[in-house]
Amino acid sequence: MVGPIEKLPEEVLALIFRDLPLRDRAVAARVCKAWAAAVTSSAVWHDTSISCDCELEDLLPPYLSTCLDHIHNLRLEYEPSKKPSRRVAAELLTALASRTPRLRGLCLECHGEKPLFDAGLDILSAVHAVCGAAHQLHHLDLRRLPYTLDDTLVLQAARDCPELRSLFLDNHALVDSVQPNSVLKLLEACPHLRALGLHLASLSRAALELLAAPHRTPFALLALRCACPEDARAPLLPDEAWEALKSRHPGLEVELELEPALPNEAVTRVLQPAVPVTVLRLNLSGDTVGPVRFAARHYAETLRALEVRASASTELHTALEELAARCAGLKEIHCFCVVRPSVLDAFRAHCPRLRSYTLKLKREPHPWRPTLVR
């Protein structure tokens, strides 16, 4: 007797199976021929997330090797301190590259601490292999890889992935080894690029001028991270270059992240009035009040999200209240220190578009969860 589940058409089964983790998909493939056909269809694998920490054994059974051809967007998680997890991640990427994939998007997420002096050569080698094979790659996100990224990877992307729409290299490595000339070659080779994430030291005036050229595809997002010694020494990018870029791409959004390694004089140089900053993350070891006040004065029209990690003080509270009064378009404010009630009242009163905030009036156990505005 055939049960109701066996009568479901393949399209409906595919909708169910695409939300299953890898292990359960493997089980479903062994139930019957109809399930095997559904679970290996392209609809199930088009957008795939794999956690190498949770799904370690027999990750590449024969059915999965076939399914690799159907993956268009892959989010791959692994833990570098666990050898089985990173081995599986490297093997999966290598297997994906060996099949000349139809891959359009790749996002790698590293969880946990990486071992000391770990350069991630196994993972980076596999990423190189994917870039060399996936010539139709549109999106590459390496922000959550803790390894030093270098010119070799950028130049390979320029050579083998001309259809790139977004590339994020603004990771948490302690050293920036991507030179401005490599970024310039990438921009020349990838005319459709719309979003780019870099360490500040990798950006140059020539890159801004190329992005502002009349023939460029509309450019939407520039994410800049300032966290290493090279970023602190990066030369000032002229206001006229930023003005030209804003004029060419009126909808341009700039995300700016400032980390503790930046001395106060470098912070002053990085914060420029001409930059259309929409997201500002301040995690500084020195003065934070000054940058908050600068943002209130110069980014009032563009700022949509602010994150502050600093010690509580009367001066900081006053600066936050000033920012709330000026930045009516703000959608998110996250302050990871206890604030006085008037700070919360100011954002509620002056920011009608606010949709999420972390403004705690007393100490709470971490992690602090944001409050959603309904």
CB 43 within 8 Å of CB 75: no
Percent of the chain with pLDDT over 70: 94
CB 95 within 8 Å of CB 101: no
Question: Residue 61: what pLDDT?
Answer: 53
How far, rounded to the nearest angstrom, does the alpha carbon of residue 359 sit from its chain's CA centroid? 24
Is residue 63 pLDDT above 70, yes or no? no
Confidence of residue 3 (pLDDT cuts 50, 70, 90): low
Is residue 60 pLDDT above 90, yes or no? no
Q: What is the mean pLDDT of residues 30-36?
A: 77
Percent of the chain with pLDDT over 90: 63
Is residue 100 pLDDT above 70, yes or no? no
Confidence of residue 276 (pLDDT cuts 50, 70, 90): very high
CA angle, residues 71, 72, 77, in degrees to nearest 5: 70
Confidence of residue 92 (pLDDT cuts 50, 70, 90): confident
Locate 8 and state its tokens.
């479901």
Confidence of residue 131 (pLDDT cuts 50, 70, 90): very high
CA atoms of 354 and 15, how far apart (whole Å): 35
Half-sphere exposure of 88 (CA within 13 A, CB side): 20
List 282's β-bridge partners, or say none.
258, 308
CA atoms of 209 and 187, how far apart (whole Å): 11
Instruction: Report strand pairing: 371-372 vs 356-359.
Output: antiparallel
Question: Residue 1: what pLDDT?
Answer: 39
Question: Residue 121: what pLDDT?
Answer: 93
Confidence of residue 112 (pLDDT cuts 50, 70, 90): confident
Q: What is the mean pLDDT of residues 13-29?
A: 75
Confidence of residue 65 (pLDDT cuts 50, 70, 90): low
Beta strands in 155-246 (DSSP E): 166-168, 195-199, 221-226
Express each pLDDT in 295-329 by its tens digit: 999 999 999 999 999 999 999 999 999 999 999 99
Is residue 28 pLDDT above 80, yes or no? no
CA atoms of 40 and 17, how far apart (whole Å): 9
CB 169 within 8 Å of CB 176: no
Confidence of residue 346 (pLDDT cuts 50, 70, 90): very high
Helix (H) or strand (E) holding 308, with range, is strand 305-308
Positive/negative CA dihedral, 48, 52, 57, 58: positive
Question: Residue 159: what pLDDT?
Answer: 96
Express each pLDDT in 231-266 by its tens digit: 989 999 999 999 999 999 999 999 999 999 888 889
- Nearest to 168, CA basis, from 190, 199, 201: 199
Question: Residue 114: what pLDDT?
Answer: 81
Question: Residue 47: what pLDDT?
Answer: 84
Question: Residue 368: what pLDDT?
Answer: 93
Is residue 274 pLDDT above 50, yes or no? yes
Question: Residue 370: what pLDDT?
Answer: 95
Question: Where is average pLDDT lowest: 41-50, 150-159, 181-190?
Answer: 41-50
Question: Residue 102: what pLDDT?
Answer: 81
- Nearest to 89, CA basis, from 102, 75, 105: 75
Average pLDDT, rounded, for the chain: 89
Is residue 117 pLDDT above 80, yes or no? no
Q: What is the mean pLDDT of residues 37-64?
A: 69
CB 292 within 8 Å of CB 265: no
Locate 327 and state its tokens.
């930045």
Q: How many CB atoms lie within 10 A of CB 93?
A: 23
